[in-house]
Amino acid sequence: MGVKVEVFRMILYLTFPVAMFWISNQAEWFENDVIQRKRELWPPDKRQELEEFKERIRKQREERLLRAAQRNS
């Protein structure tokens, strides 16, 4: 009985990660579910606002670094 349980556990330990890897790498599933969910959470108009915010933050950071570099020169 003990050997059968160990064989079952070993099969389970090996097949579960392989099955999860195979399922998660299905392109159709990814396109249908994940991309659709992403579009629901972040519609294109919100993405544009996010990109503008990132650009503003990047410019502020560059200006701060430039001022610090000029002070240190």
Residue 35, both tokens = 């991309």
Q: Return the pLDDT at 55.
A: 95
Domain boundaries, the chain: 1-42, 44-72
Please spell the DSSP secondary structure of 10-52, one letter per residue. Answer: HHHHHHHHHHHHHHHT-HHHIIIIIIHHHHHHS-HHHHHHHHH
State the pLDDT confidence band at 24, using cuts at 50, 70 and 90: confident
Percent of all residues in the chain with a pLDDT value above 70, rounded to a whole number:
100
Percentage with pLDDT > 90 across the chain: 44
Give me the amino acid identity at 3.
Answer: V
Mean pLDDT value across the chain: 87
Residue 25: strand, helix, or coil = coil
